[in-house]
Amino acid sequence: MCQRSLLGRSLSALGHEVKLLPPQHVKPYIRGQKNDYNDATGIAEAVTRPGMPSVEIKTIEQQDIQALHRLRNSRVKERIALCNQLRRLLGEHGIIIPRGVGSLRKQVPDILACADNGPIVSRYSLELNRPWFNSTPFMRHPISLGRPRHLASASALK
């Protein structure tokens, strides 16, 4: 994916006709080992085939929305990993918490208040108080962050 949309926009601005080909459709035309020469001959052969599907060049707004989605997904994965790690640690200390971020959030103040838990449990429990962990606007769906409606459509994400 690299910088193909940036390069495509730049070449289009210079008056060239840009056609982006999906890699999975070019792969059957590449013969031999992967190197620049074989890649170039495979692309040249694929582009001459009739009916070869092409991909539209993404606008800057579409790339921004895609970046927001990817960033949010990585934050959600981090939060889930931290919850699971804390749940396992607490389980080893005999503290059983149901699945879900909400149940952890509700029980963390009680866990921190209990002096019997020890410093490790308290430290992991404090991790739940990070700003990104709690219900911040970023953790909600990125499109609800005040973007114009026409940029938030499903077709803008393709």
Give 36's pLDDT tier (boundaries 50, 70, 90): very high
Convert 51-117 into a string of H (helix), E (strand) and C (coil): CCCCECCCCHHHHHHHHHHHHHHHHHHHHHHHHHHHHHHHHHCCCCCCCCHHHHHHHHHHHHHCHHH
For the chain, give every domain's residue range.
Answer: 4-48, 60-149
Each residue of 122-150: pLDDT tens digit?
A: 666 666 655 545 555 555 555 544 444 44
Each residue of 70-126: pLDDT tens digit?
A: 999 998 888 888 888 888 888 887 888 888 888 888 887 777 677 566 666 666 666
Residue 52 structure tokens: 């070869």
Is the overall model pTM greater than 0.85, yes or no? no
CB of 105 within 8 A of CB of 134? yes
Asked which of 7-16, 36-45, 103-112 is least confident by mean pLDDT, the reply is 103-112
Residue 48 structure tokens: 């001459």
130 in helix, strand or coil?
coil
